[in-house]
Amino acid sequence: MSSSDKLALTLLLLALPLALVAALVSGPVSIDLGAALTQGWRSESSDAVILWQLRLPRALLAILVGAALGMGGAAMQGMLRNPLAEPALLGVSSGAALAAILLLYYGSALQASWGSAWQSGWLLPALAIAGAFSAVGCVWLLAGRGAGAGQLVLAGVAINAFLSALMALALNYAPSLFAMQEIVFWLLGSLANRGWDQLLLALPFVLLGAILLFSARNYLRALSLGEDSAASLGYRGRRYPLSILLGIAAAVGAAVAVAGTIGFIGLVVPHLMRPLVGQDPGRLLWTSALAGALLLLLADILVVNFVGAQELRIGAVTAFIGAPFFFWLIVSARRGQQL
């Protein structure tokens, strides 16, 4: 790692708290940040409530979700050794999204038996996480014993297509216009009106996912030499790929569950970070988590400051950032650079 790369990483590390401060001062209402900070968590003044109950959990959730998506993307690209891989490729996002859509669609049927859980609002995220795990489970079973990257991608594409078809089916039969709008908003992702409860719901799953992924970092390093070389280095068997898949399902599933499907972070961030860590897939995990957190937080600051009749959906903002990056990727590939 050259000194300029280290400098870039240090700058990234410093940028995160700065962006956090920027997120805390930006919003439709101007507040006295210093006073609100000193008044403390329990104060009932409106400035303190806005800071501690609205802006801080939202900014921290952006960091958590961004980190989960960035890390998930890095792990997925490392495991599949495919530059176009992203967490959604193996159906994690669509599994979570489908579970949520079904809940929104068949909601009233469940409401009777799960009344209290329903009212508290945690049933949707909990089912979404379960959906993510089931999607990964299906991919794993479909790919079969000793599956390589190729089989996993194929199984992932198949499951993803099937889940997308089911989502389209649910959309077709959406009972009311309101449900249709819900689903579309859900699929574009948003951090609006989220609070500490959503943050605390996602946190344990994202942490569990991070631990699983970081514990498999040496496998990812070995895998960059090829599957046979990794096997000759002792990384054989299903333990390692399974722990990566479960890690992605936990982290990304939880992120999708509380914020909806936010695209492109998992795809773009590892590409941006790879040159900075000397192509090391192990170190790429934490740098991608850092950059993903920063990127989503910046996107959310943009969303908060965007004036319009409706709040801009954060999935649309990240896609706006992500699509031009793709153009740049294609142009550099044409110039003969490595992806």
* Residues near another protein (CB under 8 A): 27-29, 31, 44, 46-47, 49-50, 53-55, 104, 107-108, 111, 118-119, 121, 123-124, 176, 178, 181-182, 185-186, 190, 192-197, 260, 308-311
Radius of gyration of the chain (CA): 20
The nearer residue to another protein, 54 or 166, going by C-beta atoms, is: 54
Instruction: Answer whether 125's CB lies under 8 Å from 258's CB.
Output: yes
- How far lies 27's CA from each of 21, 23, 47, 98, 192, in Å? 12, 8, 12, 32, 11
**Least Cβ distance, residue 95 to another protein (angstroms):** 18
Minimum distance of another protein from residue 252's CB (angstroms): 19
Tell me how far, at minimum, the Cβ of 337 lies from another protein, in Å: 42
Q: In angstroms, what is the minimal distance from the CB of 220 to another protein?
A: 35
Block residue for tokens 């996993």: 152
CB of 121 to another protein, least distance (A): 6
Q: Minimum distance between the CB of residue 30 and another protein, rounded to whole angstroms?
A: 9
For residues 308 and 336, which CB has a smaller minimum distance to another protein in the complex? 308
Specify the residue, 192 or 231, whose C-beta has the smaller distance to another protein. 192
* 56 vs 267, beta carbon nearer another protein: 56
Task: Please name the residues in contact with 156: beta carbons below 8 A apart, sequence gap of 6 or more.
Answer: 89, 90, 91, 139
186 versus 219: smaller Cβ distance to another protein: 186
DSSP for 47-115?
HHHIIIIIIHHHHHHHHHHHHHHHHHHHHHHHHHT-TT--GGGGTHHHHHHHHHHHHHHSHHHHHTTTH
Query: Could you tell me the smallest distance in angstroms from the CB atom of residue 118 to another protein?
Result: 6
Q: Which is nearer to another protein, 56 or 63 (CB)?
A: 56
Give the residue with the Cβ less far from another protein, 50 or 276.
50
The pair phi, psi for residue 237, each rounded to 5°, is: 90, 180
Angle ∠(19,22,25) on CA atoms, nearest 5: 155
> Which of residues 176 and 337 has its CB atom nearest to another protein in the complex?
176
Closest approach of another protein to the CB of residue 265, in Å: 20
State which amino acid sits at residue 123: L
The first and second tokens of residue 1, run together, are 């790692």
Query: Residue 312 and residue 169: Cα distance in Å, rounded?
Result: 26
Q: What letter represents residue 126's amino acid?
A: A
User: CA–CA separation, 273 vs 287, rounded Å?
Assistant: 7
Take residue 156 and report the two structure tokens written for it: 């992932």
